[in-house]
Amino acid sequence: MDRIIIKGGKPLYGGICISGAKNAALTLLPCALLTDDPLTLRNLPRLADVDSFGHLLNQLGVSTTIEGARPDEFGRVMTLRASNIASTVAPYDIVRKMRASILVLGPLLARAGQATVSLPGGCAIGMRPIDLHLKALEALGAEIEITAGYVKATAPKGGLVGGTISFPQVSVGATENALMAAVLAKGTTIIENAAREPEITDLAKCLIAMGASIEGLRTDTLTVRGKSKLHGATYAVMPDRIEAGSYACAALITGGSLELMGARKETMPSILSGLVEAGAIIEDVEGGIKVSANGGLKPLSLSTAPYPAFPTDMQAQFMAMLALANGTSLLTETIFENRYMHVPELARMGAEIEVKGRTAVVRGVDKLHGAQVMATDLRASMSLIIAGLAAEGETEVGRVYHLDRGYERLEEKLQAVGADIERQSDG
């Protein structure tokens, strides 16, 4: 199993190219199921989760080909074609490893009239139910049956029918499934209390490029006029705001300055205001933003909530950074009940963090020290990397496969800006 070794204490300086967003890529890939024409996705990040999603789509009958990117492009280009849907089943083995597999439910149901998808079950960060996904599809006429750990969804004889979906609580995944189902439903669908994450807007823009009619982008009410058919398109995945925010934390904690090339300021309002409150100087540079430390880190209070509020996917990285702030910070997690798995690992490096219910009290310390630590989930792993970059001595992060799910070429990008970081493999 691979591990990452960091010798901390080096300020990071230079430029990092931000990859295509994992969370956008994983909802754009299943759009291929909605048409028999080719869908070409550009700027796809090279990530284990993208590969796994490709394999799942292959099992459903989608052909995938990878082309070289243009010299001015960073990511991969993949063309997907679902000429025929060969299977409508997403098996447990795949769904269990990658929760995003649930996102084939809406498009399979819309295109093929049925879908059987394994229940994802809980995961390291919480229970993560899918009831909102299922209620949304029921509102479009689907019949849902749950047997032997599988959800079987069946559309009415003539296909899904538009309706009003009113979410009692904001869900990114359920909004995505609802949107992908509604574009091929008969008539108009209104999605109320929809998630407004930039990745949802990216999905809507890709669907519009494929011929869908969607109004209300960036708002919490989406109006979809169903089409009988969608066509192929070429679409570039948005840059990853969470990757950009993670490297910004790395710049600040090491007292350095990084240009985040490709980062889109307008997709990361609360991340940037949190960084500024912690003491960062943020400047616009051509093609991106520059994040620089300006003296010591200041403590702050943050609460995670749906976009445009502070993202749960940045909580762990901010916590690592604030472990070295000059004072006490309060971080409250409102999205997931168990997203503090990084706390005991950060404590092994000298951080002083106490969890009281949903709130973590982070008392800033003068220094962190290197230690052997274990990654527990994707963003938690990144928090350990960030802490390791600033810690005195050597940090060894185990279970690196979590990082490979969501950070493209992490060591390469960090080495290029001055970090002493390498991957070791047991062979």
Applying CB under 6 A, which residues contact ligand UD1? Answer: 23, 126, 128-133, 169-174, 195, 197, 306, 311-313, 335-336
Q: Which is nearer to ligand UD1, 220 or 277 (CB)?
A: 220
Closest to 260 in 3D by CA, of 277, 272, 248 = 248
Q: Which is nearer to ligand UD1, 212 or 314 (CB)?
A: 314
Least distance (Å) between residue 315 CB and ligand UD1? 10
Helices (H) and strands (E) in the chain, counts: 14, 24
SS (H, E, C) 274-325: HHHHCCCEEEEECCEEEEECCCCCCCCEEEECCCCCECHHHHHHHHHHHCCC
Rounded Cα distance, 101 and 104, in Å: 6
Rounded Cα distance, 384 and 207, in Å: 37
Please indicate whether residue 123 is annotated as part of the active site.
yes
Q: Which is nearer to ligand UD1, 22 or 81 (CB)?
A: 22
Least distance (Å) between residue 300 CB and ligand UD1? 19
Query: What distance, in Å, lies between the first and last C-alpha atoms of the chain?
Result: 8
Rounded Cα distance, 74 and 369, in Å: 35
Antiparallel, parallel or unpaired: β 420-424 and 3-7: antiparallel
Q: Which is nearer to ligand UD1, 130 or 153 (CB)?
A: 130
Rounded to the nearest angstrom, the gap between the alpha carbon of residue 344 and the centroid of all alpha carbons in its chain is 24
- Helix or strand or coil: residue 27? helix
List Cα–Cα distances, 303 to 173, 310, 313, 361, 378, in angstroms. 21, 7, 12, 12, 20
Which residue blocks in 140-194 are alpha helix, DSSP H?
Answer: 172-182
* Amino acid identity, position 142: A
Catalytic residue, chosen from 17, 31, 123, 206, is 123
In the sheet that holds 3-7, the strands lie side by side as: 372-374, 394-398, 3-7, 420-424
Least distance (Å) between residue 384 CB and ligand UD1? 17
Closest-by-Cβ residue to ligand UD1 is: 173
Least distance (Å) between residue 182 CB and ligand UD1? 17
Q: Which is nearer to ligand UD1, 108 or 349 (CB)?
A: 108
Least distance (Å) between residue 311 CB and ligand UD1? 5
Q: Which is nearer to ligand UD1, 234 or 401 (CB)?
A: 401
Least distance (Å) between residue 355 CB and ligand UD1? 18
Q: Enumerate the active-site residues.
A: 123
